[in-house]
């Protein structure tokens, strides 16, 4: 149980929180290792992720704004003979009801601790995984997911839903309706864990599951430390996974997905979509079935026409053949997903492949190695059509990743303020199409939450 907030010195609020589940029973060695992690180089990562979980319902997508608002927040690991607990100082009050922490938030808080510790000790801080090889990175992704309890045997039933946090009410309601149809068909949902099109499908699926008396519905949120403060986990998430970086987060999505739905969004959604297309365009993945549906309400038809036109003009017809467009019919979308999952099941059964993790999907290192968006790395991107489509998709994915960094991440915002916008260059056709798409995102309010003016973090150069 969690103790209620208590007044500390100088008006501080202190609270100690006990874990549930996997962190309840720990050896003294494990507790000491937890404290070492909490007080060492990963402490700031732990603090940021914990703050994001506690900041439920936050109405900002600016990481720096969140960190500044709660600059006095702190988290400490408290050792005790029977395990470990967390001490929180000046935690956001929204995490408490009548002086006690909301149970779901407490579960997610210790999921953060679980993943930060595991990643620090087993993935980035150990020698268990060779992160210099493609197989080593995939193996690390698998073990982070397995350690989090995300991988389960059984028939394919997991729909990954992508879409923006800055969407209209009509688009949000539509994503919820699609989620409802997914839940009625007893499929589960995985998203980036935040608001908007990440929350809507989960909320709808929860109602569909309730009608089907599905007591163990899964609402998986996969995130990473750089983005979580701007996309705090929504209250429906019941399985939270923190991946080490954006690339491993994206790989986790495509490895666990049995089908993917893409709702309207901005540069973050475009990054996810281009990552997916780049992987599917690899000739070694040509025969791997993975149903992909782009969908939204009728009012979003023009948005998807722009996306489809951009993909056709840059990556070509083959890329367009890897997804379907279905506008305005949530039940039809869910039916397409269910039928597609049967093909996924039959293929993996024939190949003796696991249902819960897509080992057969090949990812090139260009999609797996972390891309750090700086003025230099963004300017060095080769956005030209005279290269294989999968390679261009990788470059465009990195460009959109950099725009996400410049829009919402603390280090990116500071870099833009210091040195001006990122510059992107390429051939005239690609730059013209990219300029048109980004201008539409700005005009439609997809770069920032409603009511917030957008200052571009990019400049396009031919």
What b-and-e string marks burial along 348-370, b requiring 16 or more CB atoms within 10 Å of the CB? beeeeeebbbbeebebeebbbee
Residue that wins the pLDDT comparison between 358 and 28: 358
Poorest-pLDDT segment among 172-176, 208-212, 303-307, 439-443: 439-443
| CA distance readout (Å), 210 to 104, 183, 413 | 18, 8, 42
pLDDT the model gives residue 82: 61
- Reported as a pLDDT band with limits 50, 70 and 90, residue 83 is low
Does residue 92 contact residue 55 with C-beta atoms inside 8 Å? yes
- The DSSP secondary structure of 304-366, one letter per residue, reads HHHHHHHHHHHT-HHHHTT-EEEES-HHHHHHHHHHHHHHHHHHHHHTT--SSS-TT----HH
Question: How are beta strands 259-262 and 292-296 bridged, if at all?
Answer: parallel
Share of the chain above pLDDT 90, in %: 60
Q: How confident is the model at residue 37 (pLDDT cuts 50, 70, 90)?
A: low
- Residue 40 corresponds to which tokens in the numbers above? 């060492």
Architecture of domain 6-128: 2-Layer Sandwich (3.30)
Rounded to whole angstroms, the Cα distance separating 300 from 268 reads: 17
- The model's pTM is 0.90
pLDDT band at 33, cuts 50/70/90? Answer: low
- Name 458's bridge partners: 422
Question: Domain limits of the chain?
Answer: 6-128, 141-350, 370-461
Residue 160 phi, psi (nearest 5): -85, 125
Euclidean distance between CA atoms 372 and 119, whole angstroms:
19
| pLDDT at residue 128 greater than cutoff 90 | no
pLDDT 10s digits, 274-317: 999 999 999 999 999 999 999 999 999 999 999 999 999 999 99
Class of domain 141-350: alpha beta
Residue with tokens 């989090």: 148
**pLDDT tens by residue, 328-383:** 999 999 999 999 999 999 999 999 999 999 999 999 999 999 999 999 999 999 89
How many alpha carbons lie under 13 Å from residue 295 in its C-beta half-sphere? Answer: 29
Say whether 141-350 and 6-128 share the same fold: no
* Start-to-end CA span in the chain (Å): 59
């Amino acid at each position: 149980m969690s103790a209620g907030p208590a007044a500390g010195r100088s008006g501080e609020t202190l609270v100690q929180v006990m874990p549930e589940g996997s962190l309840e029973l720990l050896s003294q060695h494990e507790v000491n290792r937890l404290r070492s992690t909490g007080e060492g180089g990963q402490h700031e990562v732990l603090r940021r992720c914990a703050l994001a979980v506690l900041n439920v319902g936050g109405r900002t997508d600016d990481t720096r704004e969140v960190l500044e608002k709660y600059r006095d927040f702190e988290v400490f690991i408290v050792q005790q003979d029977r395990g470990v607990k967390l001490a929180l100082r000046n935690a956001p009050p929204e995490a408490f009801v009548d002086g006690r922490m909301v149970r779901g938030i407490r579960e997610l808080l210790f999921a953060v601790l679980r993943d930060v510790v595991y990643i620090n000790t087993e993935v980035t801080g150990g020698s268990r995984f060779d992160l210099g090889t493609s197989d080593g990175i995939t193996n690390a992704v698998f073990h982070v997911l397995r350690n989090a309890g995300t991988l389960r045997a059984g028939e394919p039933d997991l729909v990954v839903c992508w879409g923006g946090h800055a969407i209209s009410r009509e688009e949000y309601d539509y994503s919820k309706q699609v989620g409802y149809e997914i839940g009625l068909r007893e499929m589960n949902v995985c998203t980036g864990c935040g608001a908007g099109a990440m929350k809507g499908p989960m909320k709808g699926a929860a109602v569909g599951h309730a009608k089907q008396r599905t007591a163990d519905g899964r609402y998986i949120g996969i995130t990473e430390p750089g983005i979580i403060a701007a996309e705090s986990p929504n209250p429906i998430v019941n399985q939270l996974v923190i991946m080490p970086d954006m690339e491993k987060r994206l790989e986790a999505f495509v490895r666990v997905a049995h089908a993917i739905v893409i709702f309207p969004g901005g540069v973050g959604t475009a990054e996810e979509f281009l990552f997916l297309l780049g992987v599917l365009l690899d000739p070694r993945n040509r025969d791997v079935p993975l149903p992909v549906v782009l969908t939204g309400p009728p009012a979003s038809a023009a948005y998807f026409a722009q996306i489809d036109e951009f993909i056709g003009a840059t990556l070509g017809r083959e890329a367009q053949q890897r997804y379907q467009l279905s506008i305005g019919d949530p039940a039809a979308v869910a039916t397409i997903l269910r039928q597609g999952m049967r093909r996924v099941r039959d293929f993996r059964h024939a190949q003796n492949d696991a249902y819960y993790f897509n080992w057969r999907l090949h990812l090139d290192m260009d999609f797996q190695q972390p891309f750090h968006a700086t003025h230099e790395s963004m300017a060095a991107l080769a956005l030209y059509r005279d290269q294989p489509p999968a390679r261009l998709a990788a470059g465009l994915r990195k460009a959109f990743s950099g725009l996400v960094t410049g829009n919402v991440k603390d280090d990116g915002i500071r870099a833009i303020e210091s040195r001006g916008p990122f510059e992107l260059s390429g051939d005239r056709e690609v730059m013209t199409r990219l300029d048109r798409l980004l201008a539409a995102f700005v005009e439609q309010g997809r770069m920032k939450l409603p009511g917030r003016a957008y200052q571009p973090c990019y400049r396009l150069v031919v």
